[in-house]
Amino acid sequence: MRVQLGCALIGLVLVGCTQSPVARPPVVDASWRATAQDRVQPSTPRQSEVAPPPVRGIDPAREQGETNRVIPIAPVAKIAPIDAPKAERTIPPAVISLLDQADQLRVAGDLNAASSRLERALRIAPEEAEVYYQLARIRLEQGGVQESVSIATQGVELAGADNALKRDLWTLIATARDRLGDTGGATQARVRARALN
């Protein structure tokens, strides 16, 4: 269904979408689109009086320098994939030390200093979802509820396969959304947390 809708949207007669055994790559193309010209009409009449600035731009051949071939060729084909599976997650000792210090400061009520330690940890290990979780927790305590949700959301993105951490992050997001009065969003977050049990 999704594929057919996508094909329909770009207005192609796309064999691959129908019963044919032949799969053809779709070609994105403006001129086949009946309404294409309409799409660039102005949304308000006032704008018709404004002449568009001249097109200054973009001059691929010049940018390409010596390479004029459009279709890329072989040399890099054998380079290993960019995202080789992430090795077992180990938090560097420096980060553990800073997380500990931040936790002590947080317990002692010095949220600013705690936050500052976590930002140091973030600079050392910006891929470490645990740091985002701790930062989101501090922001929430500091009253930055929306900021807390955003930081935790990035934490979820980085947590990979660490389901326990993801669950904590979603639970934190749920709490923060509750505080924002976003009951629906909070419930969704709780459902996602529970699904990770």
Partner 1 sequence: MKGVIQFLFKVSLVTLVGLGMVLVYLNAQLTKQFDALSFSVGATVYARPMELYVGHPLTQEALRVELAALGYRQVSERPRAGQYRIVSGNRLDLMSRGHRYADGHEPSRDLRIQIAEGQITGLTDFSGNAVAVARLDPVVLAQLSGSHADRELVRLKDVPTELVNVLIAVEDRQFWEHHGVSLTGIARAAWVNLGAGRFAQGGSTITQQLIKNLYLTRDRTLSRKLIEVVYAVLLDAQYDKSHILEAYLNEVFLGQWGARAIHGFGTASRFYFGKPLGELELSEQAMLVALIKGPSALNPRQFPDRAKARRNLVLSEAAEAGVILTKDARQAQSRPLNVPVRPADRVGRFPAYVERVQRELRDRYSREDLISDGLQIYTAMDPVRHAAAQQGLTETLDALGQQGLDPSREAQGAVLLLDIPTGEIQAVIGGRVADGGFNRALDARRQIGSLVKPFVVASALTRQPDFHSGTLVRDDPITLSLPNGDQWSPQNYSKTDAGVVTLETLLATSINQATVHLSVAIGMDAVLDDLVSFGIPLAPGRPPASVLGVSELSPLAMAGRYQMVFNRGFEVPLRAVRAVVDPNGVVVSPKPFATRQRMPSQVAYQVDRMLIATTEVGTAQRLGQAFPGLRMAAKTGTTDDGRDAWFVAADQRTLGLAWIGFDDNRVANLSGSRAALPVLQSAYRAITRQSRVIPRPDGLRETWLNAYGVDVDADCPGARPHAVPVDSPPPISQECNAQSGQGVERSWWQQWFGG
Q: For partner 1, give the closer residue by CB, 42 or 164.
A: 42
| Cβ neighbourhood burial of 114 (10 Å; 0-12, 13-18, 19+) | buried
- Shortest Cβ distance from residue 184 to partner 1 (Å)? 19
- Shortest Cβ distance from residue 11 to partner 1 (Å)? 8
Q: For partner 1, give the closer residue by CB, 72 or 181.
A: 72
Exposure class string for 117-151: b at 16+ Cβ within 10 A, else e: bbebbbeebeebbbbbbbbbbbbbeeebbeebbbb
Q: For partner 1, give the closer residue by CB, 159 or 186.
A: 159
- Shortest Cβ distance from residue 174 to partner 1 (Å)? 18
Look up residue 137 and give its DSSP letter: H
Q: For partner 1, give the closer residue by CB, 43 or 197.
A: 43
- Shortest Cβ distance from residue 101 to partner 1 (Å)? 9
Cα 177 to Cα 191: distance, rounded to the nearest angstrom: 13
Look up residue 196 and give its DSSP letter: T
The torsion angles phi and psi of 196, rounded to 5 degrees, stand at -95, 5
